[in-house]
Structure 1
């Protein structure tokens, strides 16, 4: 059985993620702004404090990003049903359309690259997907 080197995995994933997040996209928004939209699309409505923790930026930065996204119609705010004093930020249809459009764009670009791989390389990546998903799940459980 082949051993997995965590340092090599880290280096490969860093290079892949760097390439992946820079794939051409129609909408040119900042990385943090896009991250907020993707987080809201994936997790659902969140309080600003939770969004701040998730995005690992300051409360002030998240507040400014959310205010701009709200002005642009990409997110909205509504009262938290569990605490009337709190507000939940949620993605709008327009915001979700940006997230979905970016995903479609990435799928297209990545499909072109994957098509250039050999059968064994594609099969190796397919076999790795469940393990990569599990790593993500383990990380989420630690939070």
Structure 2
């Protein structure tokens, strides 16, 4: 198998896995987009709305609506950006953090039950790649521009400064 074919197969496998994995815990009250926002804030810390537009790949009006719902549900809060008092940072509340941790725990339990059904050799190989996947995520995060690095998003920042 050549490298290009292997990358295509890996991409397809990751997409299929993500499709199954995201649905492991049952959560009826929040959309996948809202859950993704909570997970991103949990993983990366406080973010501006324009940063989330890029990371979540959701149009700003839809993301603004999702963020407003999460704020009403007391899962996240808006606060001043210490580096620019006119801008707003979104961050998780304790309730939001608890929801993310609870989903993670439930997913881990359900994934563990699936992994336990694999032959021992396959389980060992699968569990050994977690560090490699972490490395890929870190590389992707390093290559993603932030608001402060990306001059094309000045309008997004100006829009955020005028929001309550």
For residues 139 and 104 of structure 1, the distance between their equivalents in structure 2, rounded to whole angstroms, comes to 25
Which aligned pairs between 1:10-89 and structure 2 lie closer than 5 A?
10-26=11-27, 28-89=29-90
1:95-135 deviation per Cα after TM superposition (whole angstroms, max 9, x unaligned):
11111111111011111111111110111112222222222
RMSD: 1.5
- Structure 1: gaps (5+ residues): none
Greater CA deviation, 27-36 or 100-109? Answer: 27-36
- For the 8 Å contact 1:78–1:87, the answer to whether it is kept is yes
Query: Alignment length, in residue pairs?
Result: 142
SS of 1:103's equivalent?
Answer: helix
Which aligned pairs between 1:106-117 and structure 2 lie closer than 5 A?
106-117=107-118
For residues 104 and 40 of structure 1, the distance between their equivalents in structure 2, rounded to whole angstroms, comes to 17
Q: What is the TM-score when the length of structure 1 is the normalising length?
A: 0.92
1:55-114 deviation per Cα after TM superposition (whole angstroms, max 9, x unaligned):
111111111111111111000111111111111111101111111111111011111111
- Structure 2: gaps (5+ residues): 145-164
